Chains A and B, each alone.
Chain A
Amino acid sequence: MKRTIFSNQLLPWLLLAPQLAITFIFFLWPAGQAIKQSFLREDAFGINSSFVGLANFTALLDSPEYLNSLKVTAVFAISVTVVSMGVALLLAVAVDRMLKSSRTYTTLLVWPYAVAPAVAGILWWFIFNPTVGVMPYVLEVIGYDWNHISSKTDAMILVVIASAWKQISYNFLFFVAGLQAIPASMREAAAIDGAGPVRRFFDITFPLLSPTTFFLLVVNIVYSMFETFAVIDATTEGGPAQATNIMVYKVYFDGFIGQNLGSSAAQSVILMLIVISLTVIQFRWVEKKVEY
């Protein structure tokens, strides 16, 4: 990388100032507030406030609802990541083998990414609505009584589909780019040596695609843990019986609906620690250890 030398000591700071100001106002300050709040017990109006140390955190770890939320988040994040990356890879490999219409196909597949999460949620909520939806009607024919309002499994499937659908487009683009960067000569050489398409995929394409895969892995986990709030809010609102109450949604519900600020702040501090560790993993481990 080319290193730029500034002769003026002030100029770099001035150039950085707008970004630093944004980081301070929209990240550091609220994060500081959350940390402070997480050690307090306070009524909604902020009239009575007392320092309670780590009580908010220990209460969380003793709470079966919070432990359930951790479990639900893990199941949800892994399912969304596996589904969206799996389907995206399949589609990308298909496009890579296409000679003609691949461009049209790519364009069509990218469209869902432009859909806002809340809209995606409403869309799938309609499709799967037990009373008026299309899917429950179809599923009834094959003998499955779909009801995400009372069935925990159905609810989880619904939010996973709604969240993964959108992310497939994003993953697809990266996989297509990754596949195109693999020199055709290597696959041809393997083909000449007698390797079939499946063997070629697992021995050559997949390992060479690993930087893209690892990058997407981290991005997708972060996406499913933090950016799917709108999907949950528009479909299940965390229910039934907390079966889809992922951590981000619980922070919102306990804080904004329940007015339990201390607990909500403690939960967001825990989430903050998770984001920080995911970022560290990405920079320290993924970016360095994966062979390019």
Chain B
Amino acid sequence: MSKLFTVSAVALIASLSAAQAKTDVQWWHAMGGELGAKLEEIVKGFNESQDEYNVVPSYKGTYPETMTAAIAAFRAKEQPAIVQVFEVGTGTMMAAEGAIIPVYQLMQDQGANFDPNAFLPAVVGYYTDTDGNMLSMPFNSSTPILYYNKSVFEKAGLDPEQPPKTWAEMEEFSKKIMESDAASCGFTTGWVSWIQTENFSAWHNQPIGTEQNGFGGPEARLTMNGPAQVKHWGNLKKWADEGIFKYGGPVGGDNAPPMFYSQECAMIMNSSASRAGVIANAKDFDLGFGMLPYYDDIEGAPQNSIIGGATLWVLSGRPDEEYAGAAKFFEYLSSPEVQADWASFSGYLPITEAAGEEMAGFFEENPGADTGLRQITLNEPTENSKGLRFGNYVQIRGIIDEEFEQMLSGDKDAQGALDGVVERGNKLLEDFQAQSQ
């Protein structure tokens, strides 16, 4: 008994010292549920692949909660080395000079194997500075696509293999579907801000702000009240009144997916990363995938869609060996095998060309799974379709939702609502510019 105890004690001490010899690198993330389990599996793969570093993932709640936690930790000097931040937090993180270490610099300092040209421009472009340097490491990026109910299309006498390409078809198909009683509403959407405003603008090569959508600097202001956006919002209001379009609520539009699953609405525009969830819920009907619709009378459409999701930021103020570990971890994360594994599992986009090629077999077996990838790589991104970068943008997204709701309730017309977005949003941008100077 006592011998057994001694042996196990020695084993315990040995394992402890082995663990201590490794440098812990804290990573705070916002991936719950199955994505969180997959993330931990990836981290485990890295920890077992070498014996110098031990990445410790901690789930910190939703995106805003994770970001707030990291900021509070930074103020208390207890920050993690790596934190996952959603795309709209990019402006805030970038402006925090002194609090972050840009990824290109980290990789350079640590002499890591890092080729910026290996990454997909549409993914990385969102997270580079004006000189093309990568500031944060893309981890989970997605883009909105169109999901449609093939069974309803068939019932309405439409070709189930032909999703609508333009907004005119969207309207026409919806009317047919409703008239034939195949479904009671044409379409719904998640994310009015991200999909029907930001992506809509990129897809039609229209700016949403000055200074290359904010990439140029904090003096950028919003300009998303242009004729294309006003036309589209106006149509959404018209279609909402006719019952063709049903609103799924603010932010991500929590009520939109249930309307699609219950076959109340025949189509939904939502993140390509909801693919697994949509498939799991579309048990009673055949599911189809299509690109976002566009207005064929707007020149330059379709351009390319922009991404959403999150990237990994490196916070300053940690011991140097942790940064060496972070650089190693990023090398591992961007390897084609890890990327392809993560992207096929989750529906997020692969971030490098090599990972995209690695996934060719997967795309063959899963028709439609490459819709998002095809959409972001449709054309070389322009100034209007590279992405956006504004400070206080979480609140500005809230304003977009509010003004959209004002329009739906009839308090404002499309022009008035979008003017409201610009006016109120610019006030926040002025605040942000003043704060960071």
Chain A interface (Cβ < 8 Å from any Cβ of B) = 41-48, 65, 129-132, 149-152, 237, 239-242, 253-254, 256-260, 262
Contact = CB atoms under 8 A, between A and B. Distances in A.
Which interface residue of B92, B255, B408, B435 has the most chain A CB atoms within 10 A? B435
Contact of A131 (B96, B255, B431): B255
B99 A47 contact: yes
Interface string B405-437: 110110100000000000010001001001111
B394 A259 contact: yes
The 7 closest A-B CB pairs, nearest first, are A258-B395, A240-B405, A241-B405, A45-B99, A241-B402, A45-B96, A149-B249
A152 B92 contact: no
Contacts of B250: 149, 237, 239-240
B412 to A, nearest CB: 10
B436 A43 contact: yes
Interface residues of B, number: 41
Given A131-B259, A258-B395, A46 B409 contact: no
B335 interface: no
A260 B96 contact: no
B92 A259 contact: yes
Nearest to B95: A43
A48 B402 contact: no
B362 interface: no
A43 B409 contact: no
Nearest to A59: B431
25 contacts: A43-B95, A43-B96, A44-B71, A45-B71, A45-B74, A45-B96, A46-B75, A47-B97, A47-B98, A149-B248, A149-B250, A150-B408, A151-B409, A239-B250, A240-B402, A240-B405, A240-B409, A259-B67, A259-B68, A259-B92, A259-B392, A260-B392, A260-B395, A260-B428, A262-B435
Nearest to B62: A257
A236 to B, nearest CB: 9
Contacts of A150: 247, 405, 408-409
B402 A242 contact: yes
A48 B436 contact: yes
Given A47-B97, A47-B98, A131-B259, A257 B71 contact: no
B96 A47 contact: yes
A60 to B, nearest CB: 12
A45 B77 CA distance: 11
A150 B188 CA distance: 14
B92 to A, nearest CB: 6
A239 B402 contact: yes
B241 to A, nearest CB: 12
A241 B97 CA distance: 34
Nearest to B411: A241
Given A43-B92, A239-B250, 20 more contacts: A43-B435, A43-B436, A45-B74, A45-B75, A48-B437, A130-B255, A131-B258, A132-B258, A150-B408, A151-B409, A239-B402, A240-B402, A242-B402, A253-B395, A253-B398, A254-B395, A257-B64, A257-B68, A257-B395, A260-B431
B395 to A, nearest CB: 4
Contacts of B98: 45, 47
B392 to A, nearest CB: 6
B262 interface: yes
